[in-house]
Structure 1
């Protein structure tokens, strides 16, 4: 039963509300754009609070996935959220979850970022679903994103497999009116007993489970062929063109045909690919255009599914851009529709590259680092993922690298192993606990000659100020990992302390071993929000 009232929701919020209404017991996530708002919505939801849903941030995506497996083991439902590069972090647990199977339903939400608005790459998470041999869902609208959640959990429990839901930035961060259900599921438990041998992946058990998962693939294919989310609209006779539209790409196609598409269309929102539907489409048209956001995941598979002489167009053929996100305009061009009005580019507009906030403590860290590094010809400063990555840009130009979460420490260690001096790593507080601690342990064990700067602004600032897992624990963590007590040092990054900060950096560079400097000052944005809230409470 549905409400007549509609809610105006981001795609992320529609997914979050759908998960709450589907009866999850908890959400497990690490903040990463464009997925962050899912967990934040659940954290702020009165319904979620009244149900006692677990919704605190995890240290990283791997721990999030493993915690969700624990929820599933005892028969309850869990949601795991991350951006696409987070799938790389949780891949060990994620891929193995296809072998253990699930008891309570698990939905893994991967938010991809075509065009790399805030990411290092454009990877397509659908490949992970195929790799793990599990069902993949890809909503084409906010309404479908909401509706899919209950279906996804039922699918997960019926097939005893996790389900991957893949969205892209435009789906995550655009709004639409969404009808929500008047009645929804209470927090549920499957009531099934876990089978211990399924969850103990010793080779004997894993080999058995692998055969079972292989045998399940024909069933998953049948479910895709009949899925309510895979829609087919065929035409009478032979058409010049057929269209395969995936996820949000379907919206872009239909925006160009407000009176109805003149070509046969298949909308794909559930994988594995519905081969019979696609073969039938190929038999009704002379060529096929694949409209998919991300990499040519479907286009490549179609080329293998259909005869070699059959014409399949899309990103590989150049009919759609090989990189970047889809837009209604580039889809229009691929469809051969004459363009609308073209507006000239604005003249005399000065580009505004991103920059660290005025008053940010990272600014003082980089000022100090640059001053000291200038005294050492050939100094290298290895960077990491966070708002402090902006230290690679003017006016600082301080960083030599930025590869992935936690790489600064291990790259600095590797460079030092190869003779680099000085070898300095800059990492943020949240990133350090996410994946920097193991690198620091490697450095301690090898007595590497590196200096690590943990720039601590007391929050996960880049994604909006979420809690940081290691706040007020960094000194203890570093000491516990074996850094010498005299070489774990805390400074306050302010201009007035510049002489002290530069002195500490020099001293630790000259120390032959692992040293850690922790510049600590609260993020200016979270501080401003706290002060504003206090002022409002006094009125």
Structure 2
């Protein structure tokens, strides 16, 4: 067998390829982006004709994956935790429709909010939808669980949510690859052609079937070879770990003898037999899990018979942020060496827009114009341009979720804050800004929408943007007066032109769209390097 050094994301991607996946659907979002990128670059994926194009947003990705499952083939859909909010409607309903081909929903959570708006824990979504959840504790398990997840999905007739976190997604380890990848499923229609028709009468029947499968899902967790129970001292302390938290505990304990009983959980619903065994064997439990106190809350419900259960809820571990070996050591009463405090003279270096970025010129023009009107009127969105909230620009006033810039600007205008400005990127606009613009058009809202078009999804590394080459026609099709769809090239030499356009459109008492258009400096540089390399290769051949 071959062994490769892979990121957790890459292990998931390779695992899906080797498990017979026919389609991968995703929208880029850290820390999940590298899964699709790996599949797109995979020679094996190309040879197998695996679908591997970016979707316009997470909802469309989820629905397309469900469509592939309907046709009997295995599908993987990938996004970060807040992307699951966007896909929540089809995800929850997919539990009720069931599946035909296996369907895995890979969600990458971001504890400590390294690049996210919140710390939500996707395991709650799995419980809410009554579907199984897998949580690998290392890269090898991440690879192996792709095959396990597809088989489980087809066995219990439900999508399977696989949850990883930032450290799992973005750390590397050796992964052993199978010699013989599984063949893709043949296309086949569901045996019941009404299975996916969620009319109330059918949905009620399907839902009863989903509830009836809960016992089988729990049994699958109890029988999982990745869940492990090690009982030691009778009446001692028991530790319940999940996912990557098991690694932190292993680092703290090392190879020294200890008396802790340990339950490693990698699959949900919780393996109730194992949970009962460790609870009955120990005098108290400590729950160590990355994210919210999901397991801790379940244990307090399952096993609340007077024995103490410690974790994030009682302060044994912090309520927010990532775990680490030091926090785990403190939780079991071990002393840890404290390093010197970082001196105050060491200044933090917040992220900033790239030198030469077109967003910089947009913000310079916008700030100059807004200084004439007044502060607190610029509603922004998720993307590179969100960095306009920081010095030296300090240009935006909100950033809540994908697409919220336009709808919040509209709501503020409804409240009387006129003019209001929405600042959104091209990829985010086609992700979830178009419907907000339609609302504004329908109500003739006095807002100006700036779609800062750099022809890519820049924040996550330069993936393809669904908007490239389509923005003017999309806005026109949504009903924006073409006379008020304005474009300019954001460069220093065009500053006055940009300011004049913004002033004119801010004065217009209706919906106007301004589209600054200049390619991302990073993707442009990447293309130039590729062209140079190609020319060099041609010259060598000659």
> Is contact 2:137–2:242 with CA below 8 Å preserved after alignment?
yes
Deviation at 1:202, TM superposition (A): 0.3
Match of 1:189 among 172, 186, 192: 186
CA 1:484 to 1:220, structure 2 compared with 1: closer, same or farther past 3 Å? same
**1:363 counterpart = 2:364:** no
TM-score (norm 2): 0.97
Deviation at 1:92, TM superposition (A): 0.2
Mapped to 2, the partners of 1:378 and 1:532 lie a distance apart of 42
* Counterpart mapping for 1:124-135 below 5 A: 124-135=121-132
Deviation at 1:537, TM superposition (A): 1.9
Match of 1:255 among 234, 251, 264: 251
Match of 1:409 among 399, 406, 411: 406
Mapped to 1, the partners of 2:85 and 2:426 lie a distance apart of 20
Indicate the residue corresponding to 1:45 in structure 2. Answer: 42
Unaligned runs of 5+ in 1: none
CA 1:484 to 1:334, structure 2 compared with 1: closer, same or farther past 3 Å? same
Deviations 1:252-286 (A, max 9, x none): 11111222653111000000012221121111111
Indicate the residue corresponding to 2:93 in structure 1. Answer: 96
Q: Which runs of 4+ in 1 moved over 3 A?
A: 190-194
* Counterpart mapping for 1:63-462 below 5 A: 63-189=60-186, 191=188, 193-239=190-236, 241-259=237-255, 261-340=258-337, 342-345=339-342, 348-378=345-375, 380-462=377-459
Deviation at 1:220, TM superposition (A): 1.0
Count of paired positions: 535
Mapped to 1, the partners of 2:7 and 2:375 lie a distance apart of 48
CA 1:282 to 1:423, structure 2 compared with 1: closer, same or farther past 3 Å? same
Mapped to 2, the partners of 1:243 and 1:103 lie a distance apart of 38
Deviation at 1:474, TM superposition (A): 0.1
Deviation at 1:340, TM superposition (A): 3.6
**1:534 counterpart = 2:535:** no
Deviation at 1:377, TM superposition (A): 2.6
Mapped to 1, the partners of 2:3 and 2:9 lie a distance apart of 16
Q: Secondary structure at the match of 2:378?
A: strand
Q: Secondary structure at the match of 2:281?
A: coil
Mapped to 1, the partners of 2:243 and 2:443 lie a distance apart of 48
Indicate the residue corresponding to 1:58 in structure 2. Answer: 55
Mapped to 1, the partners of 2:146 and 2:339 lie a distance apart of 39
Mapped to 1, the partners of 2:3 and 2:282 lie a distance apart of 39
Q: Secondary structure at the match of 2:487?
A: strand
Deviation at 1:127, TM superposition (A): 0.3
CA 1:340 to 1:192, structure 2 compared with 1: closer, same or farther past 3 Å? farther
Moved more, 195-204 or 23-32: 195-204
Mapped to 1, the partners of 2:316 and 2:233 lie a distance apart of 26
Q: Secondary structure at the match of 2:24?
A: strand
Q: Secondary structure at the match of 2:226?
A: coil
CA 1:378 to 1:6, structure 2 compared with 1: closer, same or farther past 3 Å? closer
> Is contact 1:232–1:267 with CA below 8 Å preserved after alignment?
yes
> Is contact 1:103–1:190 with CA below 8 Å preserved after alignment?
no
CA-atom RMSD in angstroms: 1.2
> Is contact 1:373–1:379 with CA below 8 Å preserved after alignment?
no
> Is contact 2:218–2:271 with CA below 8 Å preserved after alignment?
yes
Unaligned runs of 5+ in 2: 537-542
Mapped to 2, the partners of 1:122 and 1:288 lie a distance apart of 24
Q: Secondary structure at the match of 1:412?
A: helix
> Is contact 1:378–1:421 with CA below 8 Å preserved after alignment?
no
Mapped to 2, the partners of 1:396 and 1:261 lie a distance apart of 55
Indicate the residue corresponding to 1:518 in structure 2. Answer: 515
> Is contact 1:254–1:261 with CA below 8 Å preserved after alignment?
no
Q: Secondary structure at the match of 1:309?
A: coil
Deviations 1:454-493 (A, max 9, x none): 0000000000000000101000000000000100011100
Deviations 1:4-56 (A, max 9, x none): x4110000000000000000001000000000000000000000011111101
Indicate the residue corresponding to 1:21 in structure 2. Answer: 18
TM-score (norm 1): 0.98
CA 1:15 to 1:261, structure 2 compared with 1: closer, same or farther past 3 Å? farther
> Is contact 1:379–1:421 with CA below 8 Å preserved after alignment?
no
